[in-house]
Structure 1
């Protein structure tokens, strides 16, 4: 496809919490906004089962990434097979996103910087340099970082740096 702009939008299927989720996420990310909202009407009611004027979709943007949240009913659930990665510059950033996104989430799903939020969406809250540490050419450094990482729920950047520089 020559000279065609490729735009990929992430669609998130919720039971009935699409608008709540969009407002929650946009309240956390500084560079965010709510976009268009569509509503269910009479058409297709026998298929979708939603009341008229119920939110069908709500568009929102987080840090330049466009999302659509759909109220599609209870047919599908989120799994950890898909997650959103937040690259953090500092421990303050890690702490902020961890605190906000883990509120009401599944504490049993917290490990190695991963968490599941109150809607069942999985997030990875990681320092921007973690990939470099894990992929270091010195296998001992890499192993020490991984060993430290496996012991964490929320990532502690100083602990990883100490393991890396031992």
Structure 2
């Protein structure tokens, strides 16, 4: 069987990041940690790879050093059931400690990983058969950093 697992290149703090991510989502756990042996470019005992699941999705972090940087070209998109309070909980936890909000539901966490926190209501509103509703919702979204469900619903109503 073939499987695909996203691999994120980090420069340190791989275990800390994985521990944060698995703490935020149900059906999440660290599966394994491999460590650098003596005689490699990284300190012996430091995490080389961390394999984990976030909401059932396998992810790997490679602690490979400063050669490559994460950027917004790759993001983890989270569809959030549970309304605004769940959007707020995830948003706040991911930007805590040095993360930064961006636009349209995007943020970058303190490790440099980009996330999209998308309330399920946004997906429902974007699927409305009325193109004017979809346009109003899109225009409202473009003015936001964190997506605000009540504002999106108000835009849909006109």
Q: TM-score, normalised by structure 2?
A: 0.91
- SS state of the match for residue 156, structure 2? helix
Structure 1, unaligned runs of 5 or more: none
Moved over 4 A (4+): none
Per the alignment, do residues 153 and 12 of structure 1 end up closer, same or farther by CA in structure 2, a change over 3 Å counting? same
Deviations 1:63-117 (A, max 9, x none): 111111111000111111111111112111111111111113443x511110000
Alignment match of 1:87 (pick from 79, 83, 86)? 79
Distance in structure 2 (CA, Å) of the matches to 1:130 and 1:105: 27
Contact kept, 8 Å, 1:14 with 1:69, in 2: the verdict is yes
Aligned to 1:19: 15
Distance in structure 2 (CA, Å) of the matches to 1:113 and 1:13: 23
Structure 2, unaligned runs of 5 or more: none
Deviations 1:13-61 (A, max 9, x none): 1001111111111121232111111111135x2xxx1122221111111
Alignment match of 1:98 (pick from 75, 87, 91)? 91
User: Of the two, which has the highest radius of gyration?
Assistant: 1
Q: C-alpha displacement at 1:135, in angstroms?
A: 4.3
Alignment match of 1:125 (pick from 100, 117, 124)? 117
Q: TM-score, normalised by structure 1?
A: 0.87
Distance in structure 2 (CA, Å) of the matches to 1:13 and 1:132: 33
Q: How many residues align?
A: 157
Aligned to 1:64: 56
Aligned to 2:30: 34
